Amino acid sequence: MDGGGGGSVGGGAVGDHFEPMYGEGPGECFEGMTTLAALAMATTRVRLGLLVTGLTYRPLGLLATQAITIDHASNGRLELAIGTAWHDKEHRALGFEFPPTGARVDLLEDALNILPRLFTEDDVTYAGKRVSIEHATVNPKPVQQPSIPIWVGASGKKRSLPMVARHADAWHSFGDVEWLAKQSAYLDELCEEAGRDPATLLRSASLSLEGDVDDLRREIDAWAAAGFGYLIAGWPSGGREKIEAFAPLLATR
């Protein structure tokens, strides 16, 4: 599967959390954006991103400057994936505000209007529902032109998916092929209503590597047939041996 930025080089995605989502005990967890900065210096080809960046964790102006910094450190390999966040326990534990769902969707709307403009324009003023900026200029601009690709992780049909159709470069969601194919078809309709070619919106889903290799091959083919151009493969419990068994599938994609 090709990366969101084009070419045949895959990508690496890490989570944006402050405690592990799986396993037992308190565990260990590094902060996401600084992890990407470290990975930018330790790699040369893979594209980098968080799946997804929780908009409640950082002010939008800070997120914009972090993204540009990582884009430069990686020589243009960042995919900026954003979402409304969901882990209320983590927010309470660490003192992050966790607004109601509607307010977090408002924040997503503000982000999709503010971030692309900060990446491409000077002297930006925007009056948002949750965030407003005045005469803002962020330099340097990204290495990637015209802008850093913006992914949105969302599934809400009333507000979020219409935003995806209008603003996003890529869409990611969780679910099986049948369900997400229906969501993707709905996005096609929304893109057309917005005057956009649906083919310009990359579709992404998640792939568990826990299964048999032949089953994985069939699942990959099903995702491709459904129009999904990117799969985020989860690291299997079987570890490196399972990854090595899966790797030959990539050579035929």
What are the backbone dihedrals phi and psi of residue 171, each rounded to the nearest 5 degrees, phi first? -125, 135
CB 152 within 8 A of CB 172: yes
The full set of domains in the chain, from first to last, is: 11-250 (3.20.20.30)
- What are the start-end ranges of the H helices in the chain? 32-42, 60-73, 88-94, 101-120, 160-167, 177-193, 213-225, 240-250
- pLDDT on residue 12: 57
| Beta strand pairing call for 170-172 and 202-208 | parallel
Residue 233: CB partners within 8 Å, gap ≥ 6?
A: 206, 207, 208, 209, 246
The tokens for 16 are 């944006």
CB burial of residue 143 (10 Å; 0-12, 13-18, 19+): middle
Q: Which residue type does 94 have?
A: L
User: Tens digits of per-residue pLDDT, 200-210?
Assistant: 999 999 998 88
Distance of CA 199 to the CA centre of its chain: 18
Q: How many H helices and E strands in the chain?
A: 8, 10
- pLDDT on residue 253: 59
pTM confidence score: 0.89
- Specify the DSSP class assigned to residue 32: H
The tokens for 166 are 């209008």
User: Tens digits of per-residue pLDDT, 89-128?
Assistant: 889 998 999 999 999 999 999 999 999 999 999 999 999 9
- pLDDT on residue 27: 74
CB 17 within 8 A of CB 29: yes
Handedness of CA 15, 16, 20, 23 (dihedral sign): negative
Residues of the chain with pLDDT under 70: 1-13, 22-23, 25, 250-253
